[in-house]
């Protein structure tokens, strides 16, 4: 039984149209696939940007340099210790060999590497002095500068059998006899127990804040975003450090005409806001260091973890009327080591542990950022306070 449309109730009308719309055979149009291919060509996932391959090669090189620096920093410590010991030994031996009766002792020959002596050497020196005194031998105070003194044979120290100490034997055999002889009750070598202002701390933590200027093209910089974060810096040596941290960034940017987001028609304009967790990994070099000041250059790679992206896309429809499309994406785009960092900074110590720093930075993406694969560049100045542990 058939029923006229005008006499159908609501449900019958709905069912009629639903049945009519089910599984129709719409002929395939090959040209439509051609249009789809063009869209696919423009949306190949994360687009590589800004000389990606060269920068990747550079990054590998940087990691190599970093590793080498670490190796040097680690093993140079042991070498320095060895050098110090051998310097002391050779200086002492030289003194011993060079002194003969009636010769003149010049204090220049007695120049120990005083500044470099560490606690261990101090202990060694002190031990020898103590033994000298305890055995009631004449203790010979150090000669005075450019002073001619009489020399005399000194009895060999008893009980010095250790091979390392034999080098002192010759020195102990002779020595000047000062008329004002007295027991030296202070160490001849002065050790500086006060820490230097720019002492070498291994780790520093910091708080950072910065305005952020992001743009896809340099002539389209809107109102600034901001960065807030914490940093952790590990010093590989006095001049090299590895810096990382977590930065919560809010970036605002806009763009003119372009293609975005799957619609085959280009947009007339774009406004974007995104909230990002940024994890930088930078290597820093401090080429200039004063008593309170430091200058550094910094470079490395950042990872962007996009927490939220909000876009307004402005189009024109077929009649030429403008319309907009709002897009909000949450947690959909991550770019691990996809951004190159370059920075130049100044740091000033305000106390033994605290320092203030300012670091202008530039972020250059190596892959397309966010849902729209945007070439989103950022710049700003990090202001921070740093605490040396």
Supply the minimum distance, in Å, between the C-beta of residue 33 and another protein: 6
**Binding of another protein at residue 43 (CB under 8 A)?**
yes
Supply the minimum distance, in Å, between the C-beta of residue 250 and another protein: 25
Residue number, 147 or 264, with CB nearest to another protein = 264
* Site for another protein, residues 203 to 262, rule: CB under 8 A: 261-262
CA 291/CA 40 separation, integer angstroms: 58
* Site for another protein, residues 18 to 37, rule: CB under 8 A: 18-21, 23-29, 32-33, 35-37
**Angle formed at CA 338 by CA 334 and CA 342, multiple of 5 degrees:** 135
308-347 footprint of another protein as x/- string (CB under 8 A): -------x-xxx-xxxxxx---------------------
* Site for another protein, residues 45 to 84, rule: CB under 8 A: 45
**Binding of another protein at residue 145 (CB under 8 A)?**
no
* Site for another protein, residues 253 to 292, rule: CB under 8 A: 261-265
Q: Please, what's the largest Cα pairwise distance for the chain?
A: 141
Supply the minimum distance, in Å, between the C-beta of residue 337 and another protein: 21
Residue number, 45 or 287, with CB nearest to another protein = 45
Ramachandran sector of residue 262 (left: φ over 0; alpha: ψ -120 to 50; beta: rest): left
DSSP H helices in 105-168: 119-134, 163-166
In this structure, the number of other CB atoms found within 10 A of the CB of residue 337 comes to 17
CA 296/CA 284 separation, integer angstroms: 6
Supply the minimum distance, in Å, between the C-beta of residue 383 and another protein: 39
Residue number, 58 or 261, with CB nearest to another protein = 261
Task: Count the site residues for another protein by CB under 8 A.
Answer: 49
CA 201/CA 117 separation, integer angstroms: 20
DSSP state, residue 37:
H
Q: Can you count the helices (H) and strands (E) in the chain? A: 6, 11
> End-to-end CA distance of the chain, in Å?
90
Contacting residues toward another protein, per CB under 8 A: 1-6, 8, 10, 12-21, 23-29, 32-33, 35-37, 39-40, 43, 45, 261-265, 315, 317-319, 321-326
């Amino acid at each position: 039984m058939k029923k006229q449309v005008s006499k159908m109730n609501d449900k019958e009308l709905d069912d009629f149209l639903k049945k009519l719309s089910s599984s129709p055979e719409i002929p395939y149009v090959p040209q439509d696939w051609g249009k789809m291919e063009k869209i696919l060509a423009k949306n190949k996932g994360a687009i590589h940007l800004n000389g990606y391959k060269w920068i990747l090669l550079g990054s590998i090189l940087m990691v190599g340099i970093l590793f080498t620096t670490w190796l040097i920093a680690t093993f140079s410590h042991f070498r320095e210790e060895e050098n110090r010991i051998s310097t002391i030994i050779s200086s002492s031996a030289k003194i011993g060999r060079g002194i003969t009766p009636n010769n003149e002792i010049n204090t220049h020959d007695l120049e120990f590497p005083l500044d470099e002596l560490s606690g261990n050497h101090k202990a060694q020196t002190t031990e020898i002095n103590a033994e000298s005194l305890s055995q009631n031998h004449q203790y010979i105070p150090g000669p005075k500068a450019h002073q001619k003194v009489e020399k005399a044979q000194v009895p060999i120290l008893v009980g010095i059998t250790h091979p390392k100490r034999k080098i002192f034997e010759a020195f102990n055999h002779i020595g000047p006899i000062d008329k004002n002889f007295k027991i030296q009750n202070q160490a001849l070598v002065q050790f500086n127990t006060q820490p230097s202002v720019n002492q070498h701390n291994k780790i520093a933590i910091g708080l950072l804040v910065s305005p952020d200027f992001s743009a896809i093209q340099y002539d389209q910089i809107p109102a600034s975003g901001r960065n807030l974060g914490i940093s952790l810096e590990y010093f590989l040596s006095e001049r090299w450090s590895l810096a990382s941290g977590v930065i919560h960034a809010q970036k605002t940017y806009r763009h003119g005409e372009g293609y975005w987001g799957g619609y085959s028609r280009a947009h007339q304009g774009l406004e974007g806001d995104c909230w990002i967790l940024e994890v930088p990994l930078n290597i820093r070099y401090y080429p200039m260091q004063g008593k309170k000041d430091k200058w550094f250059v910094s470079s490395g790679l950042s990872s962007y973890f996009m927490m939220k992206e909000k876009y307004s896309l402005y189009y024109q429809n077929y009649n030429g009327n403008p319309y907009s499309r709002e897009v909000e994406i949450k947690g959909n785009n991550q770019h691990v080591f996809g951004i190159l960092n370059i920075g130049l900074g100044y740091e000033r110590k305000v106390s033994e542990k605290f320092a203030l720093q300012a670091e202008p930075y530039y972020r250059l993406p190596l892959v397309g950022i966010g849902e729209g694969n945007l070439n989103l560049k950022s710049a700003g100045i990090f202001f921070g306070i740093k605490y040396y542990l």
